[in-house]
Structure 1
């Protein structure tokens, strides 16, 4: 099998063209996951009545559903029910007017919320409970203790697990091609339908993903160094 450099270059250009879609599929769910996942983790760690049980069941059940299955379910519900919902809310839009990339973002966001909540919960549980008692002893409220003591110590512990979640989002974003969203993989293989150079197309997609992941790892290393200094200063 010969490797055609010209076809590879064309696939690389097409893959990079659709990189913005992949960035949306990664970073919007990441932000949502960080916000809601941290809230869920705090609720479960501090055992807020009733709500902690609801969140525990939600995370456990949702993590057992493959992302591609959840994605197909959401897409079918979106296609079948959006027009009815829009009519009910007097919204003058049909399903054809809405970019289905938002279905992919929704599915990946729920995945990120569950996985990030577990990472943050594990990091919070690794902190000695005496830190809470120390905060209360100097007159801090529970919220102040969480904000000033627990979260600053939790962040350096959680970063490695959070980076794994980001990498998982990057790789998971490729499944949205199943519902017709064009991202890196689908974009890189567009020329392959004409040139039949699918090998070159997938290699181009792999290289783009590799470069993307290396960039994330580099930023994560810098963040670990920064938060590590902050944590050491906390004990000085």
Structure 2
């Protein structure tokens, strides 16, 4: 066990944390409104749209993330290059930051999973509350904004925590798209000296700490929202 290499690689891998957090933050930011719309559409079982979205979520959740990455990374740039060429654009898509392609994969993946969390959370709210809100004259938007969503969010917090922890771990696959994240830095460092075990231990420690921190944050959020959950239950 080369401890000197491990400590040096650990410090180098820390430089990849901002990239990982940027990918996670942007993915959640983009996926959240999309997941809410998809979740509501599936909850309301809107004709045709419900079937299309069901196929989409089933496909995303039923295929490996690494396969989705290779599919997007190997097809999207080529298709985009052909499209830009046809419209006379001189933009070189192969010079684009690979984080863009990582975001495409992760947004598609997280939107599908998050939408199921939204749908199941909406199902935990008593439909009588929606009917009561309509009776007192609240619009559909106000009903969801003031009554339905606040209660749904409370019940969805544990699943959202699991989703974000899973996303953090999923970003370790971004190295397959040449994104310079934690895993990519570790593999580069290990490739120079073949100390892969030490490098992977460093990666393990970093991801473990990140996930523990996220779980601790959501634990505090869950404790704070218990009062609201109790009030709505009574």
After TM superposition, the score normalised by the length of structure 2 is 0.93
How many residues are aligned here?
234
Deviation at 1:95?
2.3
Query: How far, CA to CA, are the matches of 2:90 and 2:232 in structure 1?
Result: 54
1:131-170 Cα shifts (integer Å, max 9, x gaps): 1112112111222111111100001100101111111111
Greater shift after overlay, 107-116 or 133-142?
A: 133-142
1:117-156 to structure 2, matched below 5 A, reads 117-156=115-154
1:154-233 to structure 2, matched below 5 A, reads 154-233=152-231
Deviation at 1:90?
4.0
Give the 3 Å change call, closer, same or farther, for CA 45–156 of structure 1 in structure 2: same
Please tell me the root mean square deviation across aligned C-alpha atoms, in Å. Answer: 1.7
Query: How far, CA to CA, are the matches of 1:105 and 1:79 in structure 2?
Result: 14
Aligned twin of 2:38:
40
Deviation at 1:10?
1.1
Query: How far, CA to CA, are the matches of 2:221 and 2:141 in structure 1?
Result: 25
The DSSP-based 3-state class of the residue aligned with 2:225 is helix
Query: How far, CA to CA, are the matches of 1:215 and 1:168 in structure 2?
Result: 13
| Aligned partner of 1:53 among 51, 54, 68 | 51
Give the 3 Å change call, closer, same or farther, for CA 176–228 of structure 1 in structure 2: same
Structure 2: tracts of 5 or more residues without a match: none
Aligned twin of 1:13:
11
Instruction: Work out whether residues 11 and 190 of structure 1, in 8 Å CA contact, stay in contact via their aligned partners in 2.
Output: no
